[in-house]
C-alpha cells in the first residue's frame, strides 16, 4: 500500500507500455481519486512531450478539466473521451478537447475514439486513464467488459501507452479485481497517508 505522497512517484516510474489497476478505497474515494488525478495531470503538465487521454465514465470531462486548469495543465496535453455527460444530462458546454459518446455501453465507440485521439496527439509519453472500471461494469455484461479491456490494453501496450484503470475496491478477490489481474501488470493501492 502506498501513501498518497508516493502515488505520483509510483505512477511516474511505471514503464510506458505498462497497464496498472489503481485501487481506490470506497471510504476515501474523493481523496484517493484526487490524489491519482493530481499525480497523473502533474505528469502531463511537467513533460512537454506528454499527453493524457482521460476516459470519463464516472466524472464528466468538464469536472476533470476544471481540476486540470487549477493545476495549470496546458490544454494541448489533455484530451477526453467522455462517456458519461450525455447519460447525466450534463452536456451544455462541450469542451473543445473532448469527444463525447452517448453511453458507457458503447465500448467499441470508446475504443475508436481512443484510437482517434492517439493518432491526433503524437506524444513521446501518452497516458490513458479510465476513471472507473466499476462504472463500466454497471453498464456492461462481464464477458463483454473483459473482452473490451483485453483488446484495449493489449492495443495500448503495443503502442507504448501507459494505461491506468481506476477501480473502487477494498476486496482484492472481487470479480472486477480478478478480471483486471489477468490484464494489468501491477496493482497500485491508494491509501491515506499516516502521520
pLDDT for 62-74, tens place per residue?
999 999 999 889 9
pTM: 0.92
Tell whether the model's pLDDT for residue 160 goes beyond 70: yes
Cα distances (angstroms) measured from residue 20 to each of 45, 116, 182: 21, 22, 11
Give the H or E element holding residue 125.
Answer: strand 125-130
- pLDDT for 79 equals 96
Say if residue 1's pLDDT is above 70.
no
Whose CA is closest to 23, among 193, 140, 186, 136? 186
4 pLDDT tier (thresholds 50, 70, 90): low
Residue-wise pLDDT tens digits, 101-151? 999 999 999 999 999 999 999 888 999 999 999 999 999 999 999 999 999
pLDDT for 116: 96
Q: What is the pLDDT of residue 192?
A: 47
Helices (H), 29-174: 29-46, 61-70, 107-120, 133-139, 142-158
Instruction: Find, among 34, 102, 103, the residue nearest to 71 by Cα.
Output: 34
Q: What is the mean pLDDT of the chain?
A: 89
pLDDT over 50 at 37, yes or no: yes
pLDDT for res 155: 96
pLDDT at position 153 is: 97
Residues 156-161, mean pLDDT to the nearest whole number: 96
Question: Contacts from 69-74 at CB under 8 Å and sequence distance 24+?
Answer: 71/38, 71/41, 71/42, 71/45, 72/45, 73/41, 73/44, 73/45, 74/44, 74/45
Instruction: Spell out the domains of the chain, with CATH numbers in brackets.
Output: 17-172 (3.40.50.300)
pLDDT at residue 195, as a whole number: 33
Kindly indicate the confidence band of residue 87, based on its pLDDT and cuts at 50, 70 and 90: confident
Query: Three cell numbers at 116?
Result: 482517434
Residue 19 confidence (pLDDT) above 60? yes
Radius of gyration of the chain from Cα atoms? 15
Amino acid at each position: 500500500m502506498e501513501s498518497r505522497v508516493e502515488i505520483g512517484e509510483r505512477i511516474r516510474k511505471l514503464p510506458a507500455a505498462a497497464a496498472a489497476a489503481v485501487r481506490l478505497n470506497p471510504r476515501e474515494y474523493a481523496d484517493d481519486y484526487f490524489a491519482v488525478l493530481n499525480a497523473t495531470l502533474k505528469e502531463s503538465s511537467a513533460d512537454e512531450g506528454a499527453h493524457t487521454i482521460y476516459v470519463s465514465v464516472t466524472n464528466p470531462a468538464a469536472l476533470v478539466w476544471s481540476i486540470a486548469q487549477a493545476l495549470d495543465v496546458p490544454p494541448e496535453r489533455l484530451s477526453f473521451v467522455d462517456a458519461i455527460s450525455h447519460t447525466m444530462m450534463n452536456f451544455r458546454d462541450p469542451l473543445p478537447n473532448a469527444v463525447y459518446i452517448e453511453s458507457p455501453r458503447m465500448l467499441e465507440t470508446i475504443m475508436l475514439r481512443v484510437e482517434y485521439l492517439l493518432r491526433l496527439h503524437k506524444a513521446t509519453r501518452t497516458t490513458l486513464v479510465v476513471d472507473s472500471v466499476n462504472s463500466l461494469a454497471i453498464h456492461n455484461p462481464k464477458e463483454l467488459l473483459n473482452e473490451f479491456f483485453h483488446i484495449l490494453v493489449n492495443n495500448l501496450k503495443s503502442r507504448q501507452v501507459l494505461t491506468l484503470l481506476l477501480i473502487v475496491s477494498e476486496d482484492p478477490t472481487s470479480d472486477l479485481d480478478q478480471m483486471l489481474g489477468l490484464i494489468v501488470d501491477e496493482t497500485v493501492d491508494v491509501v491515506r497517508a499516516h502521520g
